[in-house]
Structure formats: structure tokens, C-alpha cells
């Protein structure tokens, strides 16, 4: 295992819970780089709170060299308000109403910061990626199985925006314009970009962002679709890759310690 920084507030552990997998790693807060190779576990089936908490504890214990007092940030594919999970996407519906902060704090034995997964990815982009030093309103959109969003105003997160679920003519854009829809419906790039254009143009008409950042796995193919989009705001590819949720969660965990 890679050598990790000393317990000097230069490191935090980020854990990113998804519908199919849970991944995590310690993050060097000075550089935003992983301080050890990330570890992956399959998301339990069913993904109940107790089962997921046990998996998160197993993942945490994998990093035996990480000091026990290291701050921990955890993401969930859900709205999190004051530590309570309010929605459930790709996890068991019993999560709704669960006090996630208490759940993970009890499981790990240290205070845990809990946040929405798209918000965490956005925080990484704002801290170190395509949104670094960006002023005004920045919209981060993650395209995958669905559509995630993170909204920032002068670098400050507006949490839990869930803008992927905007509707156009009564159609939920989340499955309709997602990256998964292109594959599942065998859409050409032009057909899919037409949907993405409609979605982003609608979001822009509501928010008037100064910058739009596109993330998710499909951002690796940004050259195929970014030049086809026509928005008032510049549209750029996310830079932080598949570790953005881990990195954003770690940065937010550290920020919570500083605020305390």
C-alpha cells in the first residue's frame, strides 16, 4: 500500500456509494490526489442502510494505515438534508428518512460528513478541476445512468439541486437524456445530442450559468458531442474523472472539521 500522509489534517478519507459499487480512498488534501489505491466493494443487495454501513466499515478497515481520527466523507445517490436521507436512487427505499450521518458515524466510530454524490463530484471540479477559480454561477452536470447536478455560486455549493429531474413536455429528463439512454436506445450521437441540447438549454433558461461542466463516464467522449452543443454559456469537459466523488467527499469532510 502506498505511504499515506501523517495525521496532520492533510488527509481525509472519501467514500463514494453508487448503485453497483462502493469505492473509497484516502485523499491528500494538498494535491487532491489519492494517497493510496482506491478500494472497491460491490454495493450490497438489497442496499439497506445497515448492509451499506457494514460495507462502508469494511472499506474503511481496508486502509489500516490511515489514522483512526482521519475525517471521513461519504456520498450517497440521494438528497441529504441536515444529515437525513430524503430520497433513494439506486439504493433501497427504506433509506428515506434515515439519519445517514448518525448511521455512518456509529458504524465507523468517527464523525462522518454525508452529501449527495453529484454534489461531491462538483466540489472536486470546483476545488481542482474545470471550475477552479470560476466566478458566478457554475452548473456541473454528470451524465451516466441518470443525470446528476451540482450548482455553485461564486464557489459555494447550493446542495441537492437534483436538476437532472427537470421535465420537458412532461418527460423526466433524467432517463431520457442520460448517457445510458444513448446506449439503451441505440441512439446516434446526433440523436442523443439533440436531447442533451434540449435539456441543457432548458436548465440554462432557468439558471443562466456562467459556465457548464459536463462530467460522468461519457465525458471521455467529449469531442463527440461538446462541439455540437449550442448554449450561451461555455460548456467544458470535467477534469477530475472517476475519482471525483471520492475527492469531493474528502474535501467536504475536511471542510466540516474546519467549520467545527
pLDDT tens string 108-133: 999 999 999 999 999 999 999 999 99
Give the confidence band of 8 by pLDDT, cuts at 50, 70, 90. low
C-alpha cell at 204: 440554462
Number of H helices, E strands in the chain: 8, 15
CATH 3.40.640.10 fits 133-239, yes or no: no
Q: In the prediction, which pLDDT does 89 show?
A: 80
Please state, as a whole number, how many other Cβ atoms lie within 10 Å of the Cβ of residue 230.
10
Q: For cell 475519482, name the residue.
A: 243
Q: Are strands 137-143 and 147-153 parallel, antiparallel or unpaired?
A: antiparallel
Region label for 32, one of left (φ > 0), alpha (ψ between -120 and 50) or beta (otherwise): left
CATH 3.30.420.40 fits 11-117+243-259, yes or no: yes
78 touches 87 (CB < 8 A)? yes
76 touches 114 (CB < 8 A)? yes
* 247 pLDDT more than 80: yes
Q: Express each pLDDT in 32-68 by its tens digit.
A: 999 999 999 999 999 999 999 999 999 999 999 999 8
Spatial separation of the C-alpha atoms in residues 126 and 61, rounded to whole Å? 29
Q: Residue by residue, what is the 3-state secondary structure of 180-220?
A: HHHHHCCCCHHHHHHHHHHHHHHHHHHHCCCEEEEECHHHH
* 1 pLDDT more than 60: no
Stretch among 89-93, 209-213, 221-225 having the lowest mean pLDDT: 89-93
Q: Where are the alpha helices (DSSP H) in the chain?
A: 49-62, 100-108, 117-128, 173-176, 179-184, 189-207, 222-225, 244-259
pTM of this structure:
0.93
Give the confidence band of 5 by pLDDT, cuts at 50, 70, 90. very low
Closest CA to 141 of 224, 73, 204, 232: 204
Average pLDDT over the chain, rounded to whole?
94
138 touches 126 (CB < 8 A)? yes
- Average pLDDT for 243-256: 97
Say yes or no: do domains 11-117+243-259 and 133-239 share a fold.
yes
Q: In the prediction, which pLDDT does 53 show?
A: 98
* 2 pLDDT more than 60: no
Q: In the prediction, which pLDDT does 90 show?
A: 79
Q: Express each pLDDT in 185-213 by its tens digit.
A: 999 999 999 999 999 999 999 999 999 99
* 218 pLDDT more than 60: yes
Q: Which residues on neighbouring strands pair with residue 147, listed in sequence order?
A: 143
Domain parsing of the chain, residue ranges: 11-117+243-259, 133-239
Amino acid at each position: 500500500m502506498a505511504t499515506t500522509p501523517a495525521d496532520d489534517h492533510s488527509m481525509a478519507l472519501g467514500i463514494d456509494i453508487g448503485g453497483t459499487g462502493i469505492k473509497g480512498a484516502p485523499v491528500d488534501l494538498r494535491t487532491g490526489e489519492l494517497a493510496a489505491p482506491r478500494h472497491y466493494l460491490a454495493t450490497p443487495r438489497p442496499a439497506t442502510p445497515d448492509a451499506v454501513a457494514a460495507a462502508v466499515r469494511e472499506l474503511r478497515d481496508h486502509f489500516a494505515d490511515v489514522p483512526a481520527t482521519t475525517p471521513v466523507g461519504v456520498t450517497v445517490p440521494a438528497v441529504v438534508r441536515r444529515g437525513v436521507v430524503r430520497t433513494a436512487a439506486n439504493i433501497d427505499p427504506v433509506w428515506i428518512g434515515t439519519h445517514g450521518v448518525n448511521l455512518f458515524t456509529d458504524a465507523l466510530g468517527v464523525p462522518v460528513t454525508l452529501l449527495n454524490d453529484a454534489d461531491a463530484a462538483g466540489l472536486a471540479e470546483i476545488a481542482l478541476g474545470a471550475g477552479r477559480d470560476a466566478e458566478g454561477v457554475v452548473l456541473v452536470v454528470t451524465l451516466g445512468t441518470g443525470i446528476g447536478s451540482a450548482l455553485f455560486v461564486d464557489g459555494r455549493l447550493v446542495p441537492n439541486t437534483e436538476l437532472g429531474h427537470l421535465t420537458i413536455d412532461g418527460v423526466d429528463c433524467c432517463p431520457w437524456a442520460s448517457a445510458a439512454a444513448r446506449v439503451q436506445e441505440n441512439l446516434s450521437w446526433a440523436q442523443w445530442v439533440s436531447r442533451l441540447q434540449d435539456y441543457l438549454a432548458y436548465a440554462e433558461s432557468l439558471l443562466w450559468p456562467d459556465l457548464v461542466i459536463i462530467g460522468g463516464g461519457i465525458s471521455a467522449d467529449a469531442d463527440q458531442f461538446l462541439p455540437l452543443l449550442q448554449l450561451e454559456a461555455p460548456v467544458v469537459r470535467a477534469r477530475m474523472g472517476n475519482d471525483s466523488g471520492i475527492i469531493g467527499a474528502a474535501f467536504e469532510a475536511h471542510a466540516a472539521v474546519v467549520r467545527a
